[in-house]
Amino acid sequence: MKHNLKPGDKVRFLNEVGTATISNITSQYIYVINEDGFEISVSASDIISVDDDNKKVVENAPPVQNYEVKKEDIIIEKFAHNEEIEEPGSTNQKPLKTDFPKGVYIAFAPVNQDILITGDVQVYVINYTPMSLILSCYSSEKNGFENIFIEEIEAASAQIIETVAHEELKKYFIAVVQIMFTTVSKNGLAKPMNIGITIKSSRFLKESNFIDNDIVGCKAVTVNLFELAMVDFVENESSFFKYGISSPEPLEATISNNNSLISKYKTGNLEAEIDLHIEKITDDCQNIEDSKKLNIQLDFFNRCLQSAIDEEYKKVVFIHGVGVGILKIELYKILKNYEFIEYRDAPISKYGIGATEVLISL
């Protein structure tokens, strides 16, 4: 049976209730991921494209409002910008109302916000820091690395890098990002960074994985590259002699460490337990300023949460302690952005009142 179906298409079952997303097509079968997240094989005669099914409705409906911007008409979207890293905002500019911690992100925003799992996708780099930077992104290939883009990103801006077809996103699934800061901040000269990233293809096959991103103004899959608190600075020229020239960690090792972060805290089948107390995160907690401890804890939490999502964990318990409750409040601000996550107090009998249980339903 001839068909015009392709991976990424959303389809409806003809003989049962429900929809699915095509993950692969062979000469004999079409493989789809159903609403429960299971991959099953079906015949082309058992399914119909949602687009074909709704063709009459679409023909009579008003045109979909896409926000696509051509490469030659790149828009720089300015938002909260301050010169001092420690301060939440400047006195002469209105800060952006966002729950995103300061840092750098890559966001993948579908052009058609009505159908998120197919069609063209705009790739943003979000530089939510007070420093301009040059960012290079390389795809990991069998024969080495292939450059995807090199762009200079202004401080406190979100820039559209490119618009790609949904099936072309695979070049970002295993990639390496190199960052060179071009602005000297109050804290000194920021050291260059090498960051390995991995993204599971399944994140783009379920609409609930696309979360409202108030910086780019639409639903997107957003990947945190790093948070500002993790940047190292060289204060003056004498620091070069103090620190010397260090050899960067092998890129393959960086990617591997990102993959295995959640596995270090595994307690059972797709379950983990993570202690967020500062002394559990770093051995040098005595020399860390109090103002920076919270940012370090939140960065570690974000990386662990993302690792759990990527590895499809079902339950993670985060131990945050009691204190004055600031860390717990900040965790809840982050967790509420995920439609597929439920969170609640962990069992008091085991953890007291200082832990949160996170349930992930992908």
Q: What CATH number is attached to the domain comprising 293?
A: 3.30.1370.110
Any domain includes 2: no
Question: Do 14 and 99 share a structural domain?
Answer: no
Structure confidence at residue 84 (pLDDT): 39
Read off the pTM: 0.54
Plot region of 120 (φ>0 → left; ψ -120 to 50 → alpha; else → beta): beta
Per residue in 322-340, pLDDT tens? 877 889 988 998 898 888 8
Q: Which tokens is 338 given?
A: 């995920």
Domain stop point among 249, 270, 294: 249
How far is residue 52's CA from residue 41's CA, in Å, rounded to a whole number?
Answer: 21
Question: Do 307 and 200 share a structural domain?
Answer: no
Q: Which tokens is 93 given?
A: 């500019």
Its sign, for the CA torsion 156, 162, 253, 305, is: positive
How far is residue 7's CA from residue 208's CA, in Å, rounded to a whole number?
Answer: 18
Its sign, for the CA torsion 298, 288, 228, 107, is: negative
Structure confidence at residue 187 (pLDDT): 80
Q: What CATH number is attached to the domain comprising 155?
A: 2.60.40.1600
Question: Do 157 and 71 share a structural domain?
Answer: yes
- Nearest CA to 216 out of 311, 53, 96 is that of 96
Per residue in 106-142, pLDDT tens? 999 999 999 999 999 999 999 988 899 999 999 988 7
Any domain includes 254: no
Structure confidence at residue 203 (pLDDT): 86
Per residue in 273-324, pLDDT tens? 999 998 888 777 777 777 778 888 888 898 899 888 888 899 999 999 887 7
pLDDT at 252 over 50: no
Question: Do 71 and 54 share a structural domain?
Answer: no
Question: Do 125 and 74 share a structural domain?
Answer: yes
Domain residues for the domain of 143 are 66-249
Domain stop point among 223, 249, 275: 249
SS3 324: coil
Question: Do 71 and 55 share a structural domain?
Answer: no
Domain count, the chain: 3
Domain stop point among 219, 249, 279: 249
What's the whole-number mean pLDDT along residues 168-196?
Answer: 89
Cβ(340)–Cβ(361) below 8 Å = yes
Q: Which tokens is 39 given?
A: 């991959």
